[in-house]
Structure 1
């Protein structure tokens, strides 16, 4: 990712270097000029003829001062813009990775954890270039350049000052990082755990209070907070240590430069203004080293965030669909041959050697108790999971060969979980068909008997449904999801307990409409059981029963 932006990053590092060179030049030239002016004045006062060109060094001082100010402003503006571009690119790429994770990988963590990857973890990487890579590289080059510059007049002074500054740089980069690595890395993990616990407490507040578990949950939060504060105090102490060492070593280098320059002046090898200029130039290196202690003490947090984000790509369970030609429009056949599915860490397989077939336009009821494997079959057909073994074909085409967009358009499901976003009714309906006009949205709502209710709302189709559809009743959310399915117009439909949460009267009115809409489509109903009652789905051709991931019989 950094290599893709190497041009802008090199430009930003150049601005950093220009700012630092200007700061060193400003202090060094000012020291030389003040000393030279003072000595010239003393000579003139003593009656000695002397002259000093004040215009050239004066212009140089003004140039360094203006350049430092302008370069600092441009560097901050340019580098922050570069890093924000980089993070936006990274966030978009990793969101695509998360969207491509299968249900196996997604189930390993809470939704808040995945959100934390895309927000806090990526934000933690803003220091990678701004505070770690570029400042350390610029500071190292400045130390080498300054040592060479001093060595032009006093090789001993350049060598001593450069050696001390290099020791300081190495400690601030390597030593501080090693001391703070474990504690700063724990900060990333503990903050994620704290956010997750806090979200759990807010979402389950009523249940925690009802069962008397709120105090225990709070104690767990307090334990996490105590660990965070303990590590923060340790890291703060280490940063203070780094700052003290930085000041000490820069001061020692300046003192060494002053001593050796004075020795050279005493021997007549160096002029007085140059002897003063050398330690002042070394003191200016404080600006290059000042930000390194805090940045490298917290290096573990940046590395931890980067490792977690890199792990997302390794966890991606869904491979890109290979090029394939889907079957022509129309009802799809389904062929499941010897399919097995084993969840990581589960003692038993969710599916074992499952084989079944659905003819085009046929309606199959797949029955079974909770945990029998019905939802796993649906997830496999939707390519949300990859089978551990066996083969699945839709319309005679191997499922992995289906292009993603074509699969999402022609295969759809109404599951027990209703996914509604915190947006308007129209936005939730248009998830199925973004190009649907308003009349089609009203027709879909009328099909599930929600049109009159929506018309009575003050904002109509612009009414927000709340997070996860919390402003709707369970039956309304179910019917809204069914209306969305109606808009999509798929060729293969998976319906998991389609009438769950609906009253008998509503089911009696919806059933004939659903029967008519399903005509000419392939359908798989996922049911706990069929009792030949009013809540049974319409027009079933066959029934299969799943028991612990295996077919037990059919009718």
Structure 2
């Protein structure tokens, strides 16, 4: 029971669409009751027809039961179609709700918190774990309730004609339903619970091998990695086979239980028929109706054998929801979320940052006055990008603080802070969409004229005019249709469209030839006027003009400015 508590938050999400879920459950019930009515009435009608043919009068009203059979046949088909269509639409809406919430939680985390788990594992949470939760309503909540209602309803129906039959049905089918749920859940718990982790590890191994194929081959570790992959795959296959066998055994028990109930009802009916308590058609109707109950109970073993997987997925998502970016300091009054405004100051006060066991900074001090351009140069891995990430609050320093316009950024809302910072990262992050869409990530309201203008500033207008569809040309996954220098300038143009008062440019001219770099430098010199600027690079010549340039050098306690 304690493990099932992990499902509580997600049950709360379900209640937000309780109207749709209730209607979906009613459609399930209508389908099952129509199946019960169809088989029961058909058994009565066939038997009554045979009895009438043997009787002296030979008369039977075929229109009423025939109409009932047609009604149940049509209603079963219609309700089944509507139930599948409606419930799957509801589940897709629920999954979209869940993914939106989980993703919103992820984007609120800082880089240090996100780095605790691999990117492939975060992706697995957003996809496989949330997909596993669709079992919660479609298989674990609605079907057992519908089956319970149908069993009780048919038992009461049988009780009207033959009280003993109704009692026997309840005595056999209710414990059978409990076994199909609790018994199968217990039996398949460990294998299904473990399967979630094994699936994730297998996906991680697959991504590692694809992305690191060159490194694995170079270090002759490919065979060892494949062996680990095969071991994970074998463990997953064994669990799936184990779950398959246990599901089949659960289905066997349920089927035998229903057959036993049917035989018991048939024997009671024969006894009652001999004693004149019921007619032959009623006896057959009750027996066939008992068989129809299998439609409600038959799917429970497979659903509840996988309960452990659903609970484990919920536990993992709950653990992710508890992750928070640590806050430091006292929150201060925030400013309006705007990308414009006067140039702010940016100050690093006694900042200390440790990555793993390595001290990146220890007691670092750096002040950038409003409208000032400061360049920071140094070797790769020395800590230049860490300065940028601290400014946008990708993570917080272990010691000291960073101030934006005389306010500690730990007390500013992340959205408000980042709206006032234009940040060009080392990587040119482009998405599989059109050139215009990628540019408008800097300013969603930018007109086509503004897009052409900014492309001209970064020396890309002539190239863009040669594209077959102009601004509507797709750039490919990660901008693969573009060269490295073109992708870099598209990313820079996006920052320029943002028009932020504080600009951070990390290697802004990387990938550019000398003539293009000189032209872009000249453009940036004009555009950066009046803004507060932090420039990061390996060499001063690779940066636009700046007021002061400092070099980061390795020190005993971490990198330091000299």
CA distance in 2, matches of 1:282, 1:255: 9
Correspondence for 1:26: 38
Per the alignment, do residues 554 and 375 of structure 1 end up closer, same or farther by CA in structure 2, a change over 3 Å counting? closer
Residues 1:161 and 2:161 are matched in the alignment: no
Unaligned runs of at least 5 residues, structure 2: 1-12
CA distance in 2, matches of 1:301, 1:131: 13
Residues 1:421 and 2:427 are matched in the alignment: no
**8 Å contact 1:366–1:544 — kept in the other structure?**
yes
Select 1:538's aligned residue among 537, 541, 545: 545
Please give the per-residue CA displacement for 1:309-363, whole angstroms capped at 9, x wherever unaligned: 33332234388x98722598111112334444455xx235555454443221122
Deviates more, 1:304-313 or 1:139-148: 304-313
Deviates more, 1:305-314 or 1:516-525: 305-314
CA distance in 2, matches of 1:60, 1:9: 29
Select 1:8's aligned residue among 20, 39, 47: 20
Correspondence for 1:143: 151
**8 Å contact 1:543–1:554 — kept in the other structure?**
yes
Deviates more, 1:49-58 or 1:188-197: 49-58
CA RMSD after TM alignment: 3.0
Correspondence for 1:522: 532
Per the alignment, do residues 17 and 222 of structure 1 end up closer, same or farther by CA in structure 2, a change over 3 Å counting? same
**8 Å contact 1:372–1:548 — kept in the other structure?**
no
Matches within 5 A, 1:175-186: 175-186=183-194
**8 Å contact 2:553–2:561 — kept in the other structure?**
no
Q: How far apart are 1:251 and its partner, in Å? A: 0.2
Please give the per-residue CA displacement for 1:150-181, whole angstroms capped at 9, x wherever unaligned: 23343332222222212221121122222222
CA distance in 2, matches of 1:476, 1:205: 27
Residues 1:306 and 2:314 are matched in the alignment: yes
**8 Å contact 2:402–2:409 — kept in the other structure?**
yes
Q: How far apart are 1:293 and its partner, in Å? A: 2.0
Q: Secondary structure at the match of 1:170?
A: helix
Q: How far apart are 1:104 and its partner, in Å? A: 1.9
Deviates more, 1:169-178 or 1:299-308: 299-308
CA distance in 2, matches of 1:325, 1:381: 17
**8 Å contact 1:415–1:495 — kept in the other structure?**
yes
Correspondence for 2:7: none
Select 1:252's aligned residue among 260, 271, 280: 260
Q: How far apart are 1:367 and its partner, in Å? A: 4.8
CA distance in 2, matches of 1:272, 1:158: 17
Q: How far apart are 1:431 and its partner, in Å? A: 1.4
Q: How far apart are 1:50 and its partner, in Å? A: 8.1
CA distance in 2, matches of 1:233, 1:157: 39
Q: How far apart are 1:28 and its partner, in Å? A: 1.9
**8 Å contact 1:367–1:546 — kept in the other structure?**
no
Matches within 5 A, 1:504-515: 504-515=514-525
Residues 1:360 and 2:367 are matched in the alignment: no
Correspondence for 1:497: 507
Per the alignment, do residues 265 and 434 of structure 1 end up closer, same or farther by CA in structure 2, a change over 3 Å counting? same
Q: How far apart are 1:215 and its partner, in Å? A: 3.3
Per the alignment, do residues 52 and 9 of structure 1 end up closer, same or farther by CA in structure 2, a change over 3 Å counting? same
CA distance in 2, matches of 1:428, 1:554: 36
**8 Å contact 2:360–2:558 — kept in the other structure?**
no
Q: How far apart are 1:368 and its partner, in Å? A: 5.1
Q: Secondary structure at the match of 2:117?
A: coil
Q: How far apart are 1:114 and its partner, in Å? A: 2.9
**8 Å contact 1:322–1:403 — kept in the other structure?**
no
Please give the per-residue CA displacement for 1:426-451, whole angstroms capped at 9, x wherever unaligned: 32222112222333323323323333
Matches within 5 A, 1:43-82: 43-44=55-56, 52-82=60-90
Correspondence for 2:121: 113
Q: How far apart are 1:248 and its partner, in Å? A: 0.4
Per the alignment, do residues 466 and 549 of structure 1 end up closer, same or farther by CA in structure 2, a change over 3 Å counting? farther
CA distance in 2, matches of 1:272, 1:256: 16
CA distance in 2, matches of 1:357, 1:440: 34
**8 Å contact 2:195–2:236 — kept in the other structure?**
yes
Q: How far apart are 1:142 and its partner, in Å? A: 1.6
Correspondence for 1:434: 444
CA distance in 2, matches of 1:95, 1:553: 37
What is the TM-score with the length of structure 1 in the denominator?
0.88
Deviates more, 1:305-314 or 1:240-249: 305-314
**8 Å contact 1:354–1:550 — kept in the other structure?**
no
What is the TM-score with the length of structure 2 in the denominator?
0.87
Per the alignment, do residues 51 and 114 of structure 1 end up closer, same or farther by CA in structure 2, a change over 3 Å counting? same
CA distance in 1, matches of 2:61, 2:519: 100
CA distance in 2, matches of 1:109, 1:223: 22
Q: How far apart are 1:548 and its partner, in Å? A: 6.4
Please give the per-residue CA displacement for 1:246-300, whole angstroms capped at 9, x wherever unaligned: 2101001111122233333344444433333222221111111222222222223
Q: Secondary structure at the match of 1:534?
A: helix
Per the alignment, do residues 304 and 549 of structure 1 end up closer, same or farther by CA in structure 2, a change over 3 Å counting? farther
